[in-house]
Chains A and B, each alone.
Chain A
């Protein structure tokens, strides 16, 4: 599927606080070359667009977590995410 090189998303909910506050906008690079641990990524999981931080990578998969661990639903519940489900990598928070 054709993707724009840059996308802007509005962030709902608070599991990425304090890095990304609810209601912030994030500018995302959709033509990223590689994903590494500590990168913040936008991904598609269970039909939902989510923003999470990469904890670990393992070949074609990543383990993502929310910065606000107490209230985050992430790979701890959802399991490993395929890299092909990553829509983009965070460039900046507005």
Chain B
């Protein structure tokens, strides 16, 4: 069989057989909701820093510079969050997961909407709701792998929680 494969591969080099894709979207199986949670914390943190910069009306050039940078980072990380959640939704979650967690589609949809809302404004409550949703998705994710989770206070300046797998 090895010889036959060698012969076929030599012919392939000459004529170029068509490719049939077994089609898996990068078959690495490596997915993790951690990045989305970090992005949600970043959005919260940026809202906090924007609020600080606004305390004195963003009167100085430094304050304005800081505020503009924070808005940029908030925008960027809300986009990272959306991308990460979309990848989990589109590539990782399967119909059997939705069967076990029927709330998943609506949860993801609301999370993407919240990420957009967090970009539009600087309301910390919106960012907190965003983190809450991402944490719920993280819990569903680990539940599909039959791994227990724990919500613990993060070590970030946001002082909000993170969902970790219990290992």
Q: Chain A nearest CB: distance from B2 CB in Å?
A: 10
**Residue in B4, B11, B23 whose CB lies within 8 Å of A66:** B23
Q: Chain A nearest CB: distance from B68 CB in Å?
A: 41
With contact pairs A15-B27, A76-B95 given, residues A20 and B5 touching in the complex (Cβ less than 8 Å): no
**Residue in B5, B11, B17 whose CB lies within 8 Å of A9:** B17
**Residue in A17, A49, A76 whose CB lies within 8 Å of B21:** A49
A1-56 contacts to B, CB under 8 A, are 7-17, 20, 22, 24-26, 42, 48-52
> Which A residues are in CB contact (< 8 Å) with B5?
24-25, 94
The number of chain A residues with a CB under 8 A from chain B is 31
Q: Chain A nearest CB: distance from B51 CB in Å?
A: 42
> Which A residues are in CB contact (< 8 Å) with B1?
94
The number of chain B residues with a CB under 8 A from chain A is 21
**With the chains together, A8 CA to B94 CA distance in Å?**
31
A-B pair count, CB < 8 Å, reads 86
> Which B residues are in CB contact (< 8 Å) with A94?
1, 4-5, 8
Secondary structure type dominating chain A contacts: mixed
Return the chain A residue nearest B18 by Cβ: A9
Residue B103 CB within 8 A of the other chain: no
**With the chains together, A11 CA to B24 CA distance in Å?**
12
**With the chains together, A70 CA to B145 CA distance in Å?**
11
The answer to whether A42 touches B24 (Cβ under 8 A) is no
Return the chain B residue nearest A45 by Cβ: B23
Residue B19 CB within 8 A of the other chain: yes
The answer to whether B4 touches A72 (Cβ under 8 A) is no
Chain B residues in the interface with A (C-beta under 8 A): 1, 4-5, 8-9, 11-12, 17-25, 27-29, 94-95
